[in-house]
Structure 1
């Protein structure tokens, strides 16, 4: 938007300069009234057209380029957001998938994984190697999601619109992911431990995990 306003100002200034030069030439030649000659008006039109037409063409081409770039950027954001939505749905499904393992006894067999995570983190159950492996695998998938979210948020920061709008949209998107995954991620991190996460998950994914989920594995 700022670039468009700047281009419009430059074009308007050029228009004023061209008109000013023409009228200065008229005044220096002693012509202080409007001509009634068709030939003079034809010359005036040719002068303006010859000078301003290339500038107008450049401005039009620039605006077409900016519009194409903006549409392409928006389509890119939509594709990424759809991919994030699919990952989000899959992780949501995994969290509510029945934990069909008898390591906690028949009482907890078949309960959603999320329920058992809360039970273990609250001290109602004692974790074990099998459950730690399942939780660590899920944390790995969430870290991949976090890295994708961080890339998406960075793209939102550079979205070609007003700066305040961009920040508002980015913060709104970030808040959604924090509210949805930060509490459960904190509990899962407590169960498996920071060292296990560092061994399982890549460093850049861990950093994205920390940034996106409000402190992540450092909580």
Structure 2
């Protein structure tokens, strides 16, 4: 929309400037009155059209390019969101599905429940549990990077700053609500040094930006 507005302003400005130059030349040549001849006005129209039309064609080409660019951007954004949602679905499936783990009177404790129990010192972190949770950390690292990249792309969304910021903050809040609690408990269990081993530098930065791990 903003490109269309600028294009219209540009065309109107060119038409005014062109007309101004025409009348200025007329005045310098001693012609101070407008001619009522249809032929002269036709020539004037041809003059304006001959100058404005190439600029209008150029601007139209730019608008077409911007439209194709925006369409590519929106498709890319949609593709990344679909990929992110698939990652989220698989991750949450692993997190919430029942396991063979038993605790007191609870049977088939989920990984999410196990994380809570270990972080509350209700269950000892065995080698088997550690292996499962490290695998979960790796998946969380991948998701952290994907979420930040998605939010970064949304920053280029063709909208006013207020709407864009609201949209980004809403999306970020959703993912923080979704994962921060579990990721913070995993940090409590393993410590930041272990997370630094599992996460890459980029993934560490993404997780910190999202509040999944401490600053």
Q: Is the 8 A contact 1:135 1:192 kept in 2?
A: no
Matched, 1:138 2:136: yes
Secondary structure at the aligned position of 2:125 is classed as: coil
Q: Is the 8 A contact 1:132 1:191 kept in 2?
A: no
What is the CA-CA distance between 1:32 and the residue it aligns to? 4.4
Q: What is the aligned partner in structure 2 of residue 217 from structure 1?
A: 213
- Structure 2 residue aligned with 1:184, among 182, 185, 191? 182
Q: What is the aligned partner in structure 2 of residue 63 from structure 1?
A: 63
Determine the C-alpha separation between the residues in 1 that align with 2:36 and 2:11: 29
Q: Is the 8 A contact 1:108 1:116 kept in 2?
A: no
Q: Is the 8 A contact 2:144 2:207 kept in 1?
A: yes
Stretch deviating more after TM superposition (108-117 or 12-21)? 108-117
Determine the C-alpha separation between the residues in 2 that align with 1:164 and 1:8: 24
What is the CA-CA distance between 1:113 and the residue it aligns to? 1.1
Determine the C-alpha separation between the residues in 2 that align with 1:99 and 1:210: 30
Gaps of 5+ in 2: none
Secondary structure at the aligned position of 1:218 is classed as: coil
Q: What is the aligned partner in structure 1 of residue 23 from structure 2?
A: 23
Q: Is the 8 A contact 2:98 2:108 kept in 1?
A: yes
What is the TM-score with the length of structure 1 in the denominator? Answer: 0.88
Q: What is the aligned partner in structure 1 of residue 80 from structure 2?
A: 80
Aligned CA RMSD, in angstroms, stands at 2.1
Q: What is the aligned partner in structure 2 of residue 201 from structure 1?
A: 199
Give the total of aligned pairs.
Answer: 215
What is the CA-CA distance between 1:147 and the residue it aligns to? 0.3
Secondary structure at the aligned position of 1:185 is classed as: helix
Q: What is the aligned partner in structure 2 of residue 162 from structure 1?
A: 160
